[in-house]
């Protein structure tokens, strides 16, 4: 659940069953949040909810200082970034490295087996609410990668069926206005994603017993 800007929205998402909250620290964003509010919101979400700091083309020092001040548990990196920079941040925080569709195949090769770096596929305009052509991306989508881009309550189940992502992430289709969550959409999104994830057959999970029952 990305774009969290308040304690109230963090509590809402946690109560709805979100596994992770995203806090956007990229100055270009309409959902920009301060490290202090992110820290308070993360505390309100409780001990089992991950806290992801979202950055775009920001310096190494700024990323590490903000992540520390906000007490995030992972960092999401957007933009054309050098591999060395990503690895330097991965020495401190688990990294979600965001890639566009045209970068997916190359990034899957580059980051395959690199500890601490998980790929996240997103649309070319982050936070733009535009879904991807999931079927066309299936061949290049690596196991365990996360999926974002135009996901909402009405389409998240189909996206999970198409790509079996490790996790799904959304923002603009869950809002009343930028930075302000729509409670009904938040609850419907988590319910739809959880419902589909409980039935999807993953390549790394033997659920044949469940199928036979
Ligand atoms: O949402 C933003 O404003 C934003 C700004 C800078 C980097 C990332 C941003 N959002 C990310 O966009 C995706 C999905 O957005 P949507 O569901 O398509 O609206 C998500 O990963 C956000 O973290």
ipTM for the predicted complex comes to 0.98
The CB of 167 under 6 Å from ligand 1? The reply is no
User: If you write DSSP's letter for every residue of 99-126 in order, what string do you get?
Assistant: E-GGGHHHHHHHHTT-TTEEEEE--SST
Looking at ligand 1, which residue's alpha carbon is closest to its atom 5?
29
Q: Would you say the CB of residue 123 lies under 6 angstroms from ligand 1?
A: yes
% of the chain beyond a pLDDT of 90: 91
Mean pLDDT to the nearest integer, 119-123: 97
Q: Which of 118, 107, 132 has the alpha carbon at shortest distance from 52?
A: 118
CATH fold of 7-212 reads TIM Barrel (3.20.20)
Residue 65 near residue 39 (C-beta atoms within 8 A):
no
The pLDDT of residue 65 is 98
pLDDT greater than 70 at residue 208: no
Return mean pLDDT, the chain.
92
Q: How confident is the model at residue 196 (pLDDT cuts 50, 70, 90)?
A: confident
Distance CA 29, CA 82 (A): 22
pLDDT in tens, 27-57: 999 999 999 999 999 999 999 999 999 999 9
- Of 26, 126, 155, 181, the one to substitute when testing ligand 1's pocket (max ligand atoms within 8 A of C-beta) is 126
User: Which atom of ligand 1 lies nearest, measured to the CA of 120?
Assistant: 21
**Nearest-CA residue for atom 2 of ligand 1:** 127
Q: Dihedral sign, CA of 196, 181, 50, 90?
A: positive
C-alpha–C-alpha distance, residues 179 and 176, integer Å? 8
Q: In which band, very low, low, confident or very high, does the pLDDT at 197 lie, cut at 50, 70 and 90?
A: low
Range from 138-152, 179-193, 198-212 carrying the lowest mean pLDDT = 198-212
| pLDDT for 195 | 85
- What mean pLDDT do residues 128-147 have? 95
Give the per-residue pLDDT at 199. 65
Domain ranges of the chain: 7-212
Output phi, psi for 43, to 5 deg: -65, -40
Above 60 in pLDDT, residue 157? yes
Q: How far apart are CA 194 and CA 188, in angstroms?
A: 10
Tens of pLDDT, residues 56-81: 999 999 999 999 999 999 999 999 99
Sort strands 74-78 and 117-121 into parallel, antiparallel or unpaired. Answer: unpaired
Mutate to test the pocket of ligand 1, among 55, 81, 100, 122 (most ligand atoms within 8 A of CB): 122
Question: Which atom, in ligand 1's list, is nearest to the CA of 26?
Answer: 6
Per-residue b/e over 166-204, b at no fewer than 16 CB within 10 Å? bbbbbbbbbbeeebebbeebbbbbbebbbebbeeeeeee
Residue 126 beta carbon below 6 angstroms from any ligand 1 atom: yes
CB atoms within 10 A of CB 29: 19
Determine what percent of the chain is predicted with pLDDT higher than 70.
92
């Amino acid at each position: 659940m990305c774009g969290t800007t308040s304690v109230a929205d963090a509590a809402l998402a946690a109560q709805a069953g979100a596994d992770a909250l995203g806090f956007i620290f990229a100055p270009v964003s309409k959902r920009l949040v301060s490290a202090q509010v992110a820290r308070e919101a993360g505390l309100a979400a409780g001990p089992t909810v991950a806290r992801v700091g979202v950055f775009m083309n920001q310096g190494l020092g700024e990323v590490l200082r903000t992540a520390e001040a906000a007490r995030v548990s992972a960092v999401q990196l957007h933009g054309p970034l050098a591999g060395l920079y990503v690895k330097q941040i991965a020495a401190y925080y688990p990294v979600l490295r965001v890639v566009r569709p045209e970068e997916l195949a190359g990034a899957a090769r580059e980051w395959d087996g690199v500890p601490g770096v998980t790929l996240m596929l997103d649309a070319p305009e982050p936070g733009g609410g535009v879904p991807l052509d999931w079927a066309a991306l299936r061949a290049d989508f690596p196991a365990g990668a996360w999926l974002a881009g135009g996901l909402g309550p009405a389409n998240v189940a189909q996206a999970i069926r198409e790509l079996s992502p490790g996790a799904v992430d959304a923002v603009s289709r869950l809002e009343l206005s930028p930075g302000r969550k729509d409670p009904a959409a938040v609850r419907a999104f988590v319910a739809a994603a959880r419902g589909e994830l409980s039935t999807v057959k993953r390549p790394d999970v033997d659920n044949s017993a469940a199928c036979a029952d």
